[in-house]
Amino acid sequence: MVDFSGILNASCIAIDVDANSREEVIRKAIELLQHGQKITQPETIYHDIMAREQLASTAIGEGIAVPHALSDSMQSTVMAVIRLKQPIDFNAPDGKPVDLFFIMAGPKNDTAYHLKLLSRLARLLHDPHFREQARSAATAENLAALLLEKE
């Protein structure tokens, strides 16, 4: 079973964040993961996620992006979630600016699990009702509960 409870907790979620660029959002997500003691090599993770972004934008449309990477520095998969105060351009296929970011990093040798999580997340994020709830969640805990109840 692929679920979010093993990779996400409320300490790695931030809402109403100020960020003006792709790099700034990803850095803030890395900080959340580091403060939540989910990663030990923040610079490596940042560079791995940015290298993935160079291949193609991870924006999926409807104001959502899923920056992610597989990294030699990861022992297990982790996720951070950021909701921006103001959306930013993220080269989305629909041209819409992005305000919801679901950032994942996992070990290089766990590609199958990583892809299953991405697929599960993509299905959830294509639900307009879920997107509306994510955008109106009052706290990080509410947003965490929203994700975890969808398992």
Contact 93, 60 (CB under 8 A): yes
Q: What is the pLDDT of residue 2?
A: 62
Contact 10, 144 (CB under 8 A): yes
Question: So where are the chain's domains?
Answer: 10-149
Question: 73: which 2 tokens?
Answer: 């520095």
Residues catalogued as catalytic: 68
Question: 127: which 2 tokens?
Answer: 């639900």
pLDDT at 1 over 60: no
Q: What is the pLDDT of residue 151?
A: 57
Q: CB 71: neighbour CB atoms within 10 A?
A: 21
Q: What is the pLDDT of residues 55-78, one digit of tens each?
A: 999 999 999 999 999 999 999 999
On whether the 10-149 domain is CATH 1.20.1530.20, my answer is no
Q: What is the pLDDT of residues 110-143, one digit of tens each?
A: 888 889 988 989 889 999 999 999 999 999 999 9
Q: What is the pLDDT of residue 150?
A: 65
